[in-house]
Amino acid sequence: MVDHDNLLEIPQEILENMTFEDFQQGCHQVLSMSDKEIKSSFAGKDPRAGDAIREKYRELSEKVTREDFATRKLRCLKAKGNAMVKQQKYADALNSYKKAVDQLPMMGDKTEESALDLNLSLVYLKLKQYPKAIEAADHVSLLSTTRIAVGEGPVQHEGKLQGSHGV
């Protein structure tokens, strides 16, 4: 199992615009760097650390799957959306949540889908886009009903909808 929170030491603002292919290409670029290039690129780290840095990126390029990357990116975007809701920047939150939803097809685990739909519903309410708020909420209901019907049980969420703080 991959630890998604510590998987990538990539700043959120870069990760949210990065594709899995960009990530793989970046890993391969580091693998082809000389010790001197690694020293200058990694803020003056000890040049003897070059092998350790290459090994880390080799491991990342081999072990990080498209699903792992999508999970990490989704969590970053969801966290950004939640932060935007707290700041009452609902259009920005909507943008982040929609980008997070785009990651769902690449993930095997769909448990985040209901939470994102609840967040979207809240943001649409705040933006007074009521038909879209109802549509997002209805989608949560449909997902829950489908999961119960196929024996998966009720949807579990990490958090609870609390005012305008998101899930």
The reply to whether 83 and 145 lie within a common domain is yes
Choice between 59 and 3, residue whose per-residue pLDDT is larger: 59
In tens, the pLDDT along 104-136 reads 888 766 678 888 999 999 999 999 999 999 999
Residue span of the structural domain in which 53 resides:
4-64
Q: For residue 158, tell me if it sits in a domain.
A: no
Instruction: Supply the CATH number for residue 84's domain.
Output: 1.25.40
Q: For residue 117, tell me if it sits in a domain.
A: yes
Taking residues 47-72, what's their average pLDDT?
84
Q: For residue 157, tell me if it sits in a domain.
A: no
Indicate whether 98 pLDDT > 80: yes
Taking residues 43-49, what's their average pLDDT?
63
Spell out the alpha helix ranges (H) of 64-111: 66-86, 90-101
The reply to whether 90 and 129 lie within a common domain is yes
Q: For residue 40, tell me if it sits in a domain.
A: yes
The reply to whether 58 and 97 lie within a common domain is no
Q: For residue 70, tell me if it sits in a domain.
A: no
The reply to whether 57 and 92 lie within a common domain is no
| CA pair distance 67, 81, nearest whole angstrom | 21
Q: For residue 145, tell me if it sits in a domain.
A: yes
Cβ atoms < 10 Å from Cβ of 116: 24
User: Which pLDDT belongs to residue 156?
Assistant: 45
